[in-house]
């Protein structure tokens, strides 16, 4: 028997749903790309331990945050939030789901010999965005 999630009766969070679905597809598919780099023994990937580590971090964080963004979307839709709060949660969670893995990916692409590139700073900024959105959902849930 199928169980469907009822559409939100309050304001919808379309950005989180779109970001969650497309990010899930993109970051889980990036795992195939990483395996391909191993298969073809790509030197720019295999000979650079920092790049390899940061690409894997981007893949893992991207897939997990995309799935969790979809969960937050469903939870937020069921809370019947006012439009301003729903939009804030939508934007924070979506920004976090994009910035965290992007920070790892870009930090691994352009880096010095021992340190990640400056763009890795996007990862903690994204984490703060995502956690702020989750906090707002939790606070709204407690207020019910």
pLDDT of residue 143: 83
Give the SS3 label for residue 112: coil
8 A C-beta contact, residue 127 and residue 96: yes
Query: For 93-131, how does the pLDDT look when each residue is reduced to its tens digit (9 = 90+)?
Result: 999 999 999 999 999 998 988 899 899 999 999 999 999
pLDDT of residue 1: 52
Query: For 24-71, how does the pLDDT look when each residue is reduced to its tens digit (9 = 90+)?
Result: 999 999 999 999 999 999 998 899 999 999 999 999 999 999 999 999
Write out the H or E segment, with its range, that includes residue 83.
helix 83-109
- What pTM was computed for the model? 0.86
pLDDT of residue 18: 94
């Amino acid at each position: 028997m199928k169980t469907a999630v009822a559409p939100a009766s309050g304001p919808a969070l379309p950005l989180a749903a779109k970001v969650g679905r497309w990010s899930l597809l993109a970051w889980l598919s990036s795992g195939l790309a990483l395996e391909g780099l191993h298969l073809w023994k790509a030197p720019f990937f295999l000979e650079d331990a920092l790049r390899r580590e940061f690409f894997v971090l981007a893949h893992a964080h991207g897939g997990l945050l995309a799935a969790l963004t979809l969960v937050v979307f469903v939870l937020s839709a069921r809370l019947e939030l006012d439009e301003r709060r729903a939009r804030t949660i939508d934007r924070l969670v979506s920004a976090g789901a994009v910035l965290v893995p992007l920070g790892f990916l870009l930090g691994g692409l352009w880096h010095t010999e021992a340190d990640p590139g400056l763009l890795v700073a996007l990862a903690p900024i994204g984490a703060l965005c995502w956690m702020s959105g989750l906090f707002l959902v939790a606070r709204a849930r407690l207020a019910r």
